[in-house]
């Protein structure tokens, strides 16, 4: 047979497919599932560019989405010359811990619509587009819990943001869990520890912070700051963690729960490894069942692939000291890590249920059972020690990258109203502790509606958090700075009014006076000399009036008032006294 005609040479994958309008052109059948993660595109002679076929594209084909092959055939019938270049799938990553991100299974560079979520809390199309179009590396460009909104009451106004509860005592932890989390069946879970913690150190260094998240609320339990006479394990937290009917989702969750067992005696059950569901769904969609295993996939990779925004995992905040009061970037980081687990679980499970055939949901991680495929096959378990190794490597790899962006005042303001720093005794009813684990539904106790937050307190909290973030060497804790701001910025508020604003029942007036004195002294904050003398110094105890630091402040106030021609009414000063 003559083969001089170059158009009849044997086809090879490296040459692609060229349709030239010739009736003798052969159309080979390509195993398109092999190329779902490649950056291949279909381009026409006229310069039109079509996206590569992804795993989700194939999954959506049953819903009537046009196929790449259909586009090529239509182009050929129209007399166009269309070239398709296919590239083999990349070899699996050699590192055991992380799967290399080869592109989202459902992402497109030009897709500015938020990914589907079956949950009520969603990202609006406008907020998603703003994040996608924000400057790369800016705070606004990252995925965050603060992007989500719940259903609005009237269907027109913006819905509520997820609320963050920052708890620094066992009592506030117990109260928040009982009020907001006991009836949830799906929770995001994470924890943080001191980067230099050793096995010989106690729980406060090895389990500094525990995070739980539901669809509408996030709780940050700062165990390292619990009062010394407090138990580090709230009974309701233990109950939730040991209840097998409540799913706790996260990445490298077995490693986190190992810390809970070693340092707090918690035998966690109902824990779910998101990496298993990620691999099951992704590679069932593409037909690459050999890639379904129990190797861990970092949280950042999963967020990028499924939620189409980068998750901030800067090394600076990850390796910061979690045993100290949290800065705003730490709150944002820890809250987002727990909250995203809820959305990843819901989204991945939605995709799993839409597969044909539908594979079973992976088992809870503590059971140690293999992943099951849709056709009934079982995948071998990874070695337990290897799982631990992978988890450590995954965490290390996730922290690699540039330093975190500076959180601007505008950005801090956008998230500040979501954060509630839980105070002791701000509710009068006692906490009823039930340490039993039950799988039945119990009657709900009537809930007392929380007091609406005064807008002046919201401003004070925003300023306090911003001040501590922009002044790393600030010595005053946030609660002192909040009291100071309320007093300094509102001349009509004496210490007793500030005490009533801060808490119900009110704080002791002497406590607020001490807050004001210490905040001004420690951080050299400005003050009105006349107000300082009358409302603070002259109301301190006799013992305090005998101290050198008191005398230095009183002398400074009197001198400032004497120097001011108006009698000192508006004199504002600061003092460097530290004695």
How confident is residue 282, by pLDDT bands cut at 50, 70 and 90?
very high
**What are the residues whose beta carbons fall under 8 Å from the beta carbon of 396, sequence distance 6 or more?**
none
Is the bond into 240 cis (omega within 30 degrees of 0)?
no
**What are the residues whose beta carbons fall under 8 Å from the beta carbon of 361, sequence distance 6 or more?**
277, 349, 352
User: Which of these ranges, 368-382, 424-438, 525-539, has the smallest mean pLDDT?
Assistant: 424-438
Helices (H) and strands (E) in the chain, counts: 20, 15
Q: Which helix (H) or strand (E) holds 127?
A: helix 125-133
- Per residue in 284-312, pLDDT tens? 999 999 999 999 999 999 999 999 999 87
- Per residue in 211-234, pLDDT tens? 999 999 999 999 999 999 889 999
- Per residue in 451-484, pLDDT tens? 677 889 888 988 988 888 788 788 888 889 999 9
What tokens appear for 21 in the block?
């309008």
Q: What are phi and psi of 421, to 5 degrees?
A: -85, 110
Q: 3-class SS at 134? A: coil
Name the pairing type of β-strands 419-421 and 163-167: parallel
pLDDT score of 19: 54
Q: Tell the CATH superfamily of the 122-421 domain.
A: Ribonuclease H-like superfamily/Ribonuclease H (3.30.420.10)
CA 43 vs. chain centroid, Å, equals: 39
- Per residue in 536-572, pLDDT tens? 999 988 878 888 888 888 988 988 888 875 544 445 5
Distance CA 256, CA 429 (A): 33
pLDDT score of 240: 97
Q: What are phi and psi of 117, to 5 degrees?
A: -140, 135
pLDDT score of 10: 60
pLDDT score of 386: 47
- Per residue in 495-522, pLDDT tens? 999 999 988 888 889 889 999 999 999 8
pLDDT score of 304: 95
How confident is residue 199, by pLDDT bands cut at 50, 70 and 90?
confident
**Greatest distance between any 2 Cα atoms in the chain:** 114
**Do 476 and 505 form a contact (C-beta atoms < 8 A)?**
no
**Stretch 322-343: mean pLDDT, rounded?**
91
- Break the chain into its structural domains and give their ranges: 6-84, 122-421, 455-573
pLDDT score of 415: 65
For the beta sheet containing 17-19, the strands, ordered from the edge strand earlier in sequence to the opposite edge, are: 17-19, 82-84, 42-44, 49-50
What is the per-residue DSSP string for 359-408?
Answer: PPPPPPGGG-PPPBPTTS-BPPPPPHHHHHHHHHHHHHHHH-SSPPPP--
Q: Integer distance in angstroms from the first to the last C-alpha of the chain?
A: 103
**pLDDT for residue 165 is more than 90:** yes
Angle between helices 384-399 and 253-264 (to 10 degrees): 100
Find, among 343, 218, 219, 333, the residue nearest to 277 by Cα. 343
pLDDT score of 17: 58
Find, among 260, 262, 286, the residue nearest to 271 by Cα. 260
**Do 41 and 51 form a contact (C-beta atoms < 8 A)?**
yes
Find, among 440, 299, 288, 273, the residue nearest to 361 by Cα. 273
Residue 242 half-sphere exposure, CB side, CA atoms within 13 Å? 17
């Amino acid at each position: 047979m003559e083969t001089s005609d170059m158009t009849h040479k044997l086809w090879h994958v490296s040459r692609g497919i060229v349709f030239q309008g010739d009736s003798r052109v052969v159309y080979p059948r390509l195993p398109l599932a092999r190329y779902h993660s490649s950056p291949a595109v279909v381009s026409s002679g006229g310069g039109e560019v079509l996206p590569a076929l992804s795993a989700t594209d194939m999954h959506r084909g049953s819903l009537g989405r046009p196929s790449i092959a259909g586009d090529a055939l239509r182009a050929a019938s129209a007399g166009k010359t269309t070239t398709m270049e296919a590239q083999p799938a990349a070899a699996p990553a050699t590192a055991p811990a992380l799967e290399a991100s080869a592109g989202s299974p459902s992402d497109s560079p030009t897709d500015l619509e938020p990914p589907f979520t079956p949950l009520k809390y969603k990202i609006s199309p406008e907020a998603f587009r703003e994040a996608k179009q924000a400057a790369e590396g800016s705070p606004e460009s990252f995925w965050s819990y603060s992007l989500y909104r719940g259903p609005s009451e009237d269907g027109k106004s913006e819905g509520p943001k997820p609320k963050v509860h920052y708890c620094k005592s066992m009592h506030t932890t117990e109260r928040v869990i009982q009020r907001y989390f006991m009836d949830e069946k799906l929770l995001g879970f994470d924890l943080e520890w001191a980067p230099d913690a050793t096995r010989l150190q106690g729980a406060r260094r090895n389990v500094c912070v525990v995070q739980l998240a539901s669809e509408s609320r996030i709780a940050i339990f700062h165990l390292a700051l619990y009062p010394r006479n407090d138990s580090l394990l709230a009974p309701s937290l233990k109950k939730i963690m040991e209840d097998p009917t409540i799913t706790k989702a996260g990445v490298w969750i077995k490693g986190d729960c190992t810390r809970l067992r070693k340092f707090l005696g918690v035998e966690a059950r109902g824990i779910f490894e998101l990496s298993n569901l990620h691999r099951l769904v992704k590679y069932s969609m593409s037909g690459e069942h050999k890639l379904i295993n129990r190797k861990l996939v970092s949280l950042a990779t999963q967020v990028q692939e499924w939620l189409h925004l980068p998750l901030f995992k800067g090394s600076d905040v990850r390796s910061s000291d979690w045993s100290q009061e949290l800065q705003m970037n730490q709150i944002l980081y820890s809250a987002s890590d727990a909250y995203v687990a809820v959305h990843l679980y819901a989204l991945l499970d939605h995709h799993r249920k839409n597969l044909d055939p539908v594979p079973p949901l992976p088992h809870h991680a503590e059971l140690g059972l293999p992943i099951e495929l849709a056709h009934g096959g079982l995948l071998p378990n990874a070695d337990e020690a290897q799982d631990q190794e992978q988890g450590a490597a995954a965490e290390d790899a996730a922290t690699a990258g540039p330093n975190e962006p500076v959180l601007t005042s505008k950005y801090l303001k956008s998230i500040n109203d979501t954060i509630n720093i839980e105070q002791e005794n701000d509710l009068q009813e006692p906490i009823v502790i039930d340490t039993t684990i039950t799988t039945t539904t119990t009657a709900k106790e009537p809930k007392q509606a929380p007091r609406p937050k005064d807008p002046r307190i919201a401003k004070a909290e925003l300023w306090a958090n911003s001040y501590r973030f922009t002044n790393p060497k600030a010595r005053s804790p946030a609660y002192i700075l909040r009291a100071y701001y309320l007093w300094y910025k509102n001349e009509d508020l004496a210490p007793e009014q500030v005490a009533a604003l801060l808490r119900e029942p009110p704080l002791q007036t002497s406590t607020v006076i001490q807050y004001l004195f210490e905040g001004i002294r420690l951080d050299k904050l400005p003050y009105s000399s006349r107000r300082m003398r009358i409302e603070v110094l002259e109301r301190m105890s006799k013992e305090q009036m005998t101290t050198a630091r008191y005398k230095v402040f009183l002398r400074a106030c009197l001198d400032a008032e004497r120097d001011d021609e108006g009698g000192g009414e508006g004199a504002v000063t600061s003092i460097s006294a530290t004695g």
